[in-house]
Structure 1
Amino acid sequence: MVLKREPTASFHSVRYILRVLETVSQHGGGVTETVIARESGLPPLHLAPILRMLRREGYVERLPDGAYAAGASLVLLGSDATHRQALEAKLQETLSALRDTVGAAVYVSRYIDGEVRVTQFAAGPRTPAVREWVDFRSAAHASAAGKCLLNQLDQNGRRDHLARHKIARLTSRTVTNERQLFSRLDAQPATVPVLDLQEYAVGTVCAAVPLSAGAAVGCLALSLPVEHAHRLRAAAETLNRRAAPVALSLTF
């Protein structure tokens, strides 16, 4: 599999976040924002929102004197014995908070060994998950998550996937022409959420944003009942803005 393009904006944000975490970790007794900015190479204007996010997610904490130190989440992730469990628990916590913020079921999907896989999700009574009436692995051409993942592959990677999972009409809105599908993917701006307007399932609309980190291909998605379609674009924009903590988890 070959990535279609350079890492997306989400990855570049994560790269800067990792610089900040590395700087904080190197100063066990705490480090000031000025020193973090100097050692990470980030201007204060960009550093401030990153620090706010890292505090919110528990990766750093602010000491009484205003300096920053490693937070509980970062300390826990640094333990080899509990790393995997801690990472999954932290990601689930992040997804649950995001679900409540956007008022929709949210999902993390990955492209692993040539297959679309939903690796984690958060749903609830008021935010039901989409019913998987057709295996997501066979519906990449129709679902927002699947299209977002395919959009991160090159042409050969896409063709390989569709050779193994033939395009099928799932609803009257499903695009079943490969050339038309590829044309839409090529025209999709990297910073704009990919939408599924009842292409996978009648009665459900979805959106997805990329979570590319190095060689990993992933996305963050949400689904809404069609009666809430008027909230889709606003929810997708929020999803895009809040993607960094989820993308960060893919790098650990």
Structure 2
Amino acid sequence: MPTAHNAAVPTLITSVQRALRLLEAVGSHPGGAPAKQLAREAKVPLPTAYHLLRTLSHEGYVRREHGVFLLGPAAERLGAGGMQQKRRSMILDSLAHFRDVIGAPVYFAVYREGEVELVGVSDTPNSPACEEWADFRQTAHAHAIGQCLLAQVDEQVRQDHFDRHAMTAITPYTLRDLRSFENRMGALEGAGPVVERQEYALGTVCAAIPVAAGETAATLAISLPLHQEQRLLSAVNRLQREVGALLSALSISISI
């Protein structure tokens, strides 16, 4: 029966450790390296290194070209996943900053491949975000986030969007037809805020501003309960002033 001390010692799988060291060695040579060099750097016996490299190659973590080993697509996907997580953390940190400065829930969304994509939300228990009770993708006409995103694309893209997601009244205040929507889009002034009052959720007002992110339509938005509506314009104007300092972080994260 194992002692308490032995039970606390993790079971280490030597072959996994060696494979990881080999991967690290391969990754340290962008131009590739031969098996003998990798085995020496990873301190793995050469026969074992050959066996592990064959396995890693079969799984796509390394590839062999002209006698040297390089990182394969599977390893590159792992790296891309880590970068994606880092970018998402940057977005959430930025949203938390805006939330604390403004004192309201803050949303970041993009229009990608014909759909509204809510990338991140930051709120607090005392100032909760608006509940997504109706799918944001299907109700873009009804909320400030969707309205701001659709205002940044051309009329043909909007028409295609509404061909796929028909405009329906989800509250008594929701815009009901494309003509009314286009009239609102035409009344917007450049980079000014899009304001929506109870069109998506009763008792909630929202405002959104466009965010410059290359060719991708993006937006930052806030929401407030109806009884705080008098704060809405000053809060979104404050958001617009604040976003400049952190715009680069959001922009490089747009590829998430």
Q: Same fold (TM over 0.5)?
A: yes
Aligned runs of 1:72-221 on 2, under 5 Å?
82-221=82-221
Tell me, yes or no, if the aligned pair for 2:109 and 2:120 is still in contact at 8 Å. yes
Q: Is the 8 A contact 2:209 2:219 kept in 1?
A: yes
SS in 1 for 2:248: helix
How far the C-alpha of 1:81 sits from its partner, in A, is: 8.5
Any unmatched runs of 5+ in structure 2? 1-78
Identify the residue that residue 65 of structure 2 maps to in structure 1: none
SS at match of 1:111: strand
* Structure with larger Rg: 2
Residue 202 of structure 1 aligns to which amino acid in structure 2? L
Over the aligned positions, Cα root-mean-square deviation in angstroms equals 1.7
TM-score (norm 2): 0.64
Query: Would you say the 8 A contact 2:210–2:220 is kept in 1?
Result: yes
C-alpha distance 159-246 of structure 1, shift in aligned 2 (>3 A): farther
- Measure the CA separation in 2 of the matches of 1:163 and 1:203: 29
Residues 211-231 of structure 1: per-residue CA shift (max 9 Å, x gap):
132211110001111111111
Give me the whole-angstrom Cα distance separating, in 1, the residues matched to 2:232 and 2:176.
Answer: 24
- The TM-score, its normalising length taken from structure 1, stands at 0.65
The SS at the match of 2:206 is strand
SS of equivalent residue, structure 2 residue 233: helix
Structure 1 counterpart of 2:199, one-letter code: E
* Structure 1 unaligned regions, length at least 5: 1-78
Distance 1:192 1:105, change over 3 A: same
Q: Deviations over 1:174-194 (max 9, x none)?
A: 111211110110110122110
The reply to whether residue 244 of structure 1 matches residue 238 of structure 2 is no
Higher RCO (C-alpha under 8 Å, 6+ residues apart): 1
TM-aligned CA distance change 1:80 to 1:167, over 3 Å: closer
The 1-side partners of 2:160 and 2:247 are apart by: 26
Partner of 1:138, secondary structure, is coil
The 2-side partners of 1:85 and 1:97 are apart by: 18
Q: Distance in 2 between matches of 1:163 and 1:211?
A: 26
Give 1:244 shift.
Answer: 2.5
